[in-house]
Amino acid sequence: MSIITKEMKDFFHTNGYVLIKNAVPKADCDKLVQVMWNFMGKSPEDREGWYTPAEGMDTFWEGQAAGMLPLYNHQAMWDIRQHPNVYEAFSEIIGDKKLRVSMDRVSMKPPKRDDHPGLSANFIHWDEDTSNLAFPLKQPRPLQGVVYLADTAANQGGFQCVPSIYRNLEQYLKEQPADRDPWHPDLTGYEVEPIPGEAGDLLIWDVLLPHGNGVNLADKPRFAQYVLMFPEHKQSEADTEMYIECVRTHQGRPGNQVDPRYWEKNDHSQPVQLTPLGRKLLGVEPW
């Protein structure tokens, strides 16, 4: 059964993103949110604790953009990555059944506080260098994705974007000065649109959609898991083997900040349980 309707696909190609409702069971989202609290050593009731590092992680906030947590290969994260609805949504938009999945992190973004300016990051960017784009753009386009782990209001610091620039990207770029920033668009005259969602919703966007996270002006944190899928031929054999080893040993993705406590590794008594679909997405088994 298709996840992406014709109307949703048309919306995606026009606006650069699509929100898939109820892609992941809320129970899976709740489980991962609890894992994140455990990872931080915090609780929903201890508001002050939302702004202090976990024991043994003095750099818990510093060096991490807007509350990103160095959590990569917990079973709760893989339960979401390998959910059939998530795979099917990416597959239908990309137009390819043979996909790989990324090992991206999770985000817990508390409400804005003046003494923690890093958590108030509010910037719009492209995920791809726009210096030398060739139009018409090649299809399928590289994608990104995020799962809403809890209900997220428009003012809660979640995903926001500028579809009006995406819809007319070629003309927009022609009108910009030669010395423009190829990663951060000039938003003069354009509206930034927050995209609220509910726990279990999946948002997929084109990397050329100007986007970012907003400032959390609500009274509770924003929780999200980033998930990306792409054609398997885009990943080298060496990278596939490296990611398989990371999952086997419960380690973070190479090149990213590592939890000095090795909490994730120490929290596991069993290997990550991959479904047949999950084994193909990771590259353990061929398609």
Task: Supply the pLDDT for residue 59.
Answer: 64
Residue (of 282, 222, 206) closest to 18 by Cα position: 206
Q: Which residues contact 19 (CB under 8 A, 6 or more apart)?
A: 195, 197, 201, 202, 203
32 pLDDT band, cuts 50/70/90, is very high
Q: Which residues pair with 20 in a beta bridge?
A: 202
Instruction: Tell me what the pLDDT averaged over the chain comes to.
Output: 91
Q: Which amino acid is at 246?
A: C
65 pLDDT band, cuts 50/70/90, is very low
Checking if the pLDDT of 241 tops 90, the result is yes
Task: Supply the pLDDT for residue 63.
Answer: 46
Looking up tokens 């995903």 gives 159
pLDDT in tens, 250-283: 777 766 667 778 888 787 667 899 999 999 999 9
Q: Which residue has the higher pLDDT, 117 or 12?
A: 12
pLDDT in tens, 211-225: 999 999 999 999 999
Structural domains of the chain ordered from first start:
6-282 (2.60.120.620)
Mean pLDDT score, 142-148: 97
- Angle between the N-to-C axes of helices 6-15 and 84-94, in degrees from 0 to 180, rounded to the nearest 10: 60
Total residue length of the chain: 287
Mean pLDDT score, 230-246: 93
